[in-house]
Structure 1
Amino acid sequence: MLIIRLFLIFAKIGAFSIGGGYAMLPFIQREIIDNNHYLNLKEFSDILAISQMTPGPIAINSATFVGYKIAGVLGSVAATLGIVLPSFIMIIIIASFFVKFYDKKEVKAAFSGIRPAVLGLLAAAAYSVTITNVIDLKSIFIFILSFGILFIKKMDPIIVLIISAVLGIILY
């Protein structure tokens, strides 16, 4: 029953989230932490960190790791299929009609409305991850340094992750 429930939770997230993996994170958090209490915020934050470091889309990685944490390998498979299948099916359907309707003003207006909502979802995910992980002066230092290196120096994110990991080892 838990496997089916995981599939349905992630299928709902996959079906009703727009904007990619980071936009899905607030929905995953609400369903897994707030509504079902399968994980706490710290566990979810750890899963997000691992999901960002592993190859692949963050929403799929998160679903896979959350499913595994909750119900093992079968939970992992159920959550991953749940988050992927709705998008896959919708893309196949939309692709067959998109060329016909792309130039319509209603479609362009809908995309114009969706873009700011996606930005809001991304901001909510960033806020949630920040309040969970920036907990003391050392973590604030690593956050500010990483942010500065990424956005001011335009350094490769992989290098920033390595620097942050080394700082974490040294400081903690």
Structure 2
Amino acid sequence: MTKRSNHRSWNMLLQIFWSFCKIAPATFGGGYAMLPAVEREVVKHHKWLTEEEMARAISIAGASPGGIGVNFAVFIGFKLMGWRGIIAAVAGIMLPTFLIIVSLGVFLQATRQNVKVMAALLGIQVAIISLVAYAGVKMSRSAILDKTTLTLLIISIVMLLLGVHPAVMILLGAAAGVASIYIKEKLRLSISTERSKTASAKASMTQTKITFAPKVHEYYFGDGI
């Protein structure tokens, strides 16, 4: 039993390593450009995270110091296999990137005067913009819940265009989120969060209505039974 458990553990570690090896080449141009590849691998293929969990993981990775790709790998690795998972995920996302950067450095040093190579790099930059935009649209499905979050999004975009530092935006965003919940609680307004949405969905699923014939008797089985 122990051998079988160890075998499964090593298989899981190899899956984590190989998955992030496949994700790593998509980090060309910045961590946010890799998010479509991450979603396909982590959410759709392996189902290690739901879309909501991925949105939270991206928020944590983006708000933490360092590159978002490595931060995200640490988060997923630790969630799946603890410290061994962290080593496997970080090694997987860093090794291909390191080899690619070294290869590109040698290649560009020899071909930096080539017009076609520079044109290819310009085309890659445009493609990266589309990848980042796609990631933003996907994240908006689980992040924009009501008029308050939509307003915060618009204000954030305007402030970034005006030159506000991203680190300041993260702190202001966190403060605005807490303040909006506090104000809504004081005014007794409805609050839309991922947590409350999930709780209400579970409540509706666990409540069952049973009808008996010919005489109708209705019984409700909720969370308290």
TM-score by length of 1: 0.90
For 1:164, the equivalent position in structure 2 comes to 173
Alignment map for 1:107-126 (pairs within 5 Å)? 107-126=117-136
Answer whether contact 2:26 2:37 (CA < 8 A) is retained.
Answer: no
Which residue, out of 118, 128, 146, partners 1:136?
A: 146
Alignment map for 1:75-86 (pairs within 5 Å)? 75-86=85-96
Which residue, out of 66, 74, 93, partners 2:84?
A: 74
Question: Which consecutive aligned stretches of 4+ in structure 1 deviate over 3 angstroms post-superposition?
Answer: none
Task: Read off the aligned partner of 1:115 and give its amino acid letter.
Answer: Q
Provide the secondary structure at the position in 1 that maps to 2:164.
coil
The CA deviation at 1:106 is 3.1
Provide the secondary structure at the position in 1 that maps to 2:86.
helix
For 2:3, the equivalent position in structure 1 comes to none
For 2:46, the equivalent position in structure 1 comes to 36
Task: Read off the aligned partner of 1:159 and give its amino acid letter.
Answer: V
1:20 matched to 2:20? The reply is no
Once residues 159 and 19 of structure 1 are traced to their aligned partners in structure 2, the CA distance between those partners, rounded to angstroms, is 23
> Which shifted more, 81-90 or 92-101?
92-101
Answer whether contact 2:111 2:117 (CA < 8 A) is retained.
Answer: yes
For 1:8, the equivalent position in structure 2 comes to 18
For 1:91, the equivalent position in structure 2 comes to 101
1:65 matched to 2:65? The reply is no
Equivalenced residues, count: 171
Task: Read off the aligned partner of 1:40 and give its amino acid letter.
Answer: T
Computing the radius of gyration from Cα coordinates, the structure with the larger value is 2
Instruction: State the superposition RMSD in angstroms.
Output: 1.6
Once residues 77 and 35 of structure 1 are traced to their aligned partners in structure 2, the CA distance between those partners, rounded to angstroms, is 21
Task: Read off the aligned partner of 1:170 and give its amino acid letter.
Answer: A
Task: Read off the aligned partner of 2:128 and give its amino acid letter.
Answer: V
Q: Show structure 1 runs of 5+ residues with no match.
A: none
Once residues 118 and 105 of structure 1 are traced to their aligned partners in structure 2, the CA distance between those partners, rounded to angstroms, is 20
The CA deviation at 1:169 is 1.2
Once residues 137 and 98 of structure 1 are traced to their aligned partners in structure 2, the CA distance between those partners, rounded to angstroms, is 47
Answer whether contact 2:26 2:33 (CA < 8 A) is retained.
Answer: no
Answer whether contact 2:27 2:69 (CA < 8 A) is retained.
Answer: no
Q: 1:137 to 1:60 in 2, by over 3 A?
A: same
> Which shifted more, 31-40 or 128-137?
128-137
What percent of counterpart residues are identical?
Answer: 30
The CA deviation at 1:108 is 2.0
The CA deviation at 1:105 is 3.1
The CA deviation at 1:17 is 4.5
Structure of higher RCO (CA pairs closer than 8 Å, 6+ residues apart): 1
User: 1:75-102 deviations in whole A, cap 9, x for unaligned?
Assistant: 1211111111101012223323321122
Q: 1:17 to 1:164 in 2, by over 3 A?
A: closer
Once residues 124 and 61 of structure 1 are traced to their aligned partners in structure 2, the CA distance between those partners, rounded to angstroms, is 20
> Which shifted more, 65-74 or 91-100?
91-100
Q: Show structure 2 runs of 5+ residues with no match.
A: 1-10, 182-225
